[in-house]
Structure 1
Amino acid sequence: MSNSLYARPAAGLPGQMQLHTGRAVFTEAYALIPRGVMTDIVTSYLPHWNQTRAWVIARPMSGFAETFSQYIVEVAPGGGSMRPEPDAGAEGVLFVVEGQATLTLEGQTHLLHEGGYAFLPPGSGWSLHNKSTAPVRFHWVRKRYEAAEGIAAPTAFVTNEQDQPIRWMPGTSDRWGTTRFVEPDDLRHDMHVNIVTLEPGAVIPFEETHVMEHGLYVLEGKAVYRLNRDWVEVEPGDFMWLRAFCPQACYAGPERFRYLLYKDVNRHMKFLP
């Protein structure tokens, strides 16, 4: 049994005597995909990936969230891909929640352990393999990069979230903060994939209502989260998927609460044709 700090799908199937009453919901403003429904029968297989399966937890959908997709990928020992990304215009972020992966990115080889984070610019050459003896699981967030005239495309980088500081929000006594992997005013980037931390009992004390779409995957801890009109309980392994302008707020539980957060940023709003 892994002692990873981060939640990941348990896979398998529930017992036949389990009650058919759960927390999964899809509304006009948000979706909640609880950890208990991420079973073997909802995995997908990807072209040019060997000994690999993925839980697709977000995809662009007209009228809902349209900017990104998010997978939880599981690669068995000996598996991986030399041709992982089919779209030359896509950028991506990898975040490892269990095991280790060997990433070759623009000619450099990196060993990603738990907490490992890689930014993959559009058109970058990369491959990934599991050369260990245990499965590796990681998030893969993908977005079609939106270039801005006169601004260079972002460059690749690899780090580990445990080596990055938490930037605490002012006036919160270091109880609510964000681990940022790029600076907010770096206009090369049109998406952020960060980690939000709330200490026990901390709150997001107002209903954030903004243009950014969100994917929130709970890495550890429990909380009560405000999603549009509803307060919902969330726990490690749950995924929340929010369209633009969905109100949100949070009360953290008795332990540290952390989630991986996607949002689209730094670009003008497109007009429909």
Structure 2
Amino acid sequence: MKFTAIAPGTCGELLQGFIDDKDFLINSPIPFFAKASVTINNKESKIEFLEEEKYSKINRIIDKILSHFKIKENIALNFEIDSKIPRGKGLASSTAELTAVILAISKAFNKNLSDNEINNLLISVDKSSDGVFLPGISYINHLKGHVYKKFQHIPSLSFIIVDSGGEISTQKFDRILARNVSLKHENSLRAALKIIKEGFLTKNSKLIAQAATISARINQNVLYKDPFETLVNGTKEYGGLGVNCAHTGTVLGVMFDHKNTDQHSLLERVKTLIHPLPIIGIYPLISGSRIN
């Protein structure tokens, strides 16, 4: 019998930094999903792990969750991963794939996991969690698993996702440098955090995009992305509200209100500004979710 679950990726983050000795991010889930399936075969007793070179993290999470559920009897499990989310770009590909696996196994064995249990499992393997399974937009400590706040209102905000090139390993990311940059720009980061909270409270996409742009501009001192200022300045007249980024990745997101913007004109403008860099896609901001 086959059990399937999916989890969303993200367009980088709306905010990320280090304040009051705490790492934090505010995530930005998008409908760019990873799907995991687990099949139980009662006639056999062997767990078929995935290709180790490509799916080593997933094989580790499988071991950990079976141990967490104290499943020791001989069982036959087969796993499949279906994800088009590019890796190393800052689109939460690892979190989405690992979360989908956790949810699929939970479904297969009829087990319930708390938010904390899922976060702890993710962090034990991936060293961080983007919290894509949490409902709403989440303000979290991605390294410790603490959830500070969930913003339930999802504004009409979309991203044209631009890949500025290359790949970044989240686990090799220079967090010391990032923390030092946050401390140097603490006043701006605190202002951005205040602005984005007001934006979600008042359902104001412009304020949310303003705050995200501040955070992305600070991050230029950590992971520089050449098209950033060009996109910020070059899309304003076409409905661009600002540009967010993957703070530990390579992508930029040109933000716009999809209810009040000529998407085609904005997209053509972005293509002109970034040529020959690729556009990964256009996705709206959605609520984080567990879908199984």
- So what's the TM-score if we normalise by structure 2? 0.30
Structure with max Cα Rg: 2
Q: TM-score, normalised by structure 1?
A: 0.32
Which structure is higher in RCO with an 8 Å CA cutoff and minimum separation 6? 2
Structure with the bigger percentage of helix: 2
